[in-house]
Chain A
Amino acid sequence: MGTSKHVVDRRDLDGTWDYTTLPASIVLGEGCFLESKKSFKRYFATADPGLVIGNDVRVYGGTGFGIEPSGMMTVGDRCILVGADFMCAERISIGSDVFISYGVTISDADFHPVDPVERRADAIANAPGRDRAARRPYPSAPIVIEDGVRVGIGAMILKGVSIGTGATVGPGAVVTRDVPADATVIGNPARPEVR
């Protein structure tokens, strides 16, 4: 056995922590498993509710609910979120029975302006010791992931995308456009799979 003092509370990482310590604007359904308390460390939503999680949802430690003050997110019932980094500045809606694998990124905004002058002003406002309220507006568009969608390992879903019921996003795919129901997309940028 090692001799170091551990500064990590083991219970915060194995789903046995007290879920009632979550922010009051998070609505949590029945029978959920939330592996790591750290999944919520970037939750800054000001909406109430800012995050709604349905019943019997499993959230694993690689998942992060990065919700900006302007963001709002919903997760349906029986979802399995293995390792999704959600970056939400506007709205991310996830249906029921959705599976999201390891190392996935789902981002509904650019998070910085495209114009370089505006972007420099944003970088300054966002720096330590400066006023984040002075940040510049940036493009965002809601993401909708409908019921029964499966998102493969390492995929990325970008702003404004809707993924139809029962669709599959292949491993490592970068989804920049809507995916119809029951379709399978792969590659970067993601395209319908050709067999």
Chain B
Amino acid sequence: MTEPYVPPWDWCPDPVPDNVVFGPDCWLDTRYAFARSRTRRDPGVRVGRNTGIYSGSWFDLGPDAQVEIGSYCTIVGALASTNHRIVIGDYALISTRVSLVESAFSAPPVGWLDDEDYRRWQAHAGGGPIVLGDDVWIGAHATVIGPVTIGHGAIVGAACVVTGDIPDGAIVAGNPARIVGWADGAERERHALR
């Protein structure tokens, strides 16, 4: 297992949990990002190589949660709140104050009587896994609510609320999010044919 580079100004005294596995040359702004990770999976969080997880990022992970983050990702400020699975492909750009949550009503895994108590709430809140393809770009303040799949190369506009699947190369915006364009020419032609 490789340790990520943690800058000397990180105030948080907690170690990175044992079930959080980093590839080579990653950056983690603060170990506080994992303060509310309660996942019992091993690995609970797996990160590829050369990925940066910066200071606004936060992992609220329930006992059954599993998070996989690819290589060369820039995670500026993502909240990941789930007791399901979150998958982020390679080369993802995730801006500040982005939420990736299993449902609009998911809760953090601490402060409950026990794991079962927490699982009951999450089951009641509904939702499901989140899968982001490669080369996905998510704008600031966007909210992505599971279950949802975002295709390769898609762009999610700032502050939009995503509650449905997004095809490869689509550009979406608004609340609720709608397709407003395509990120590459070929996809634009395909869209015009519909």
Contact = CB atoms under 8 A, between A and B. Distances in A.
B99 A102 contact: yes
Contacts of B176: 186-187
Contact of A15 (B6, B9, B106, B110): B110
A2 B8 contact: yes
Contact of A152 (B97, B104, B111, B112): B104
Nearest to A152: B104
B8 A3 contact: yes
Given A102-B81, A154-B143, A187-B175, A33 B11 contact: no
A154 B12 contact: no
Contacts, number: 83
Sort chain B's interface into a size bin.
Answer: 20 to 34
Interface stretch (A5-13, A67-75, A119-127, A158-166): A5-13
Nearest to A99: B105
Given A172-B143, A172-B161, A187-B176, A10 B13 contact: yes
B10 to A, nearest CB: 5
Secondary structure call for the B interface: loop
B107 A2 contact: no
B144 to A, nearest CB: 10
Interface in A28-67: 33, 35, 58, 60
A186 B160 CA distance: 13
Nearest to B160: A172
B6 A150 contact: no
Contacts of B79: 102
Contacts of A173: 175
Nearest to B79: A102
Contacts of B112: 58
Interface in B84-132: 97, 99, 101, 104-108, 110-112, 121
Interface of B: 6-15, 35, 79, 81, 97, 99, 101, 104-108, 110-112, 121, 141, 143, 145, 159, 161, 163, 175-176
Interface of A: 1-4, 6-8, 10, 13-15, 33, 35, 58, 60, 80, 82, 99, 101-103, 150, 152-154, 170-173, 186-188
